[in-house]
Structure 1
């Protein structure tokens, strides 16, 4: 594995990108749900 440091960098980058993307999706999903529930309660 030490002979391919580039592979480690790629895997690390993918993991970070997936984590950041997942967090962004969760945050946007939660805010969207809050807005929807807020509108429903107002009605």
Structure 2
């Protein structure tokens, strides 16, 4: 359990840009979905 958590922390430290990029992609999808709802498309 602890070693698994440790691996996750290492992954976060090694790939901050990858995580940031995936977060941006998710945010853009969310904004696009909200935009379509607001405009009624």
Q: TM-score, normalised by structure 2?
A: 0.63
Give the length in aligned residue pairs. 30
Q: Which residue of 2 aligns with 1:5?
A: 16
- Measured against aligned partners, the alpha-carbon deviations of 1:1-42 in whole angstroms (never above 9, x if no partner) come to 22111000001000110101100001111xx6xxxxxxxxxx
Moved over 3 A (4+): none
Unaligned runs of 5+ in 1: 33-43
Query: Gaps (5+ residues) in structure 2?
Result: 1-10
Compare relative contact order (CA 8 Å, sep 6+) and give the higher one, 1 or 2: 2
Structural RMSD (CA): 1.3
Task: Give 1 or 2 for the bigger CA radius of gyration.
Answer: 1
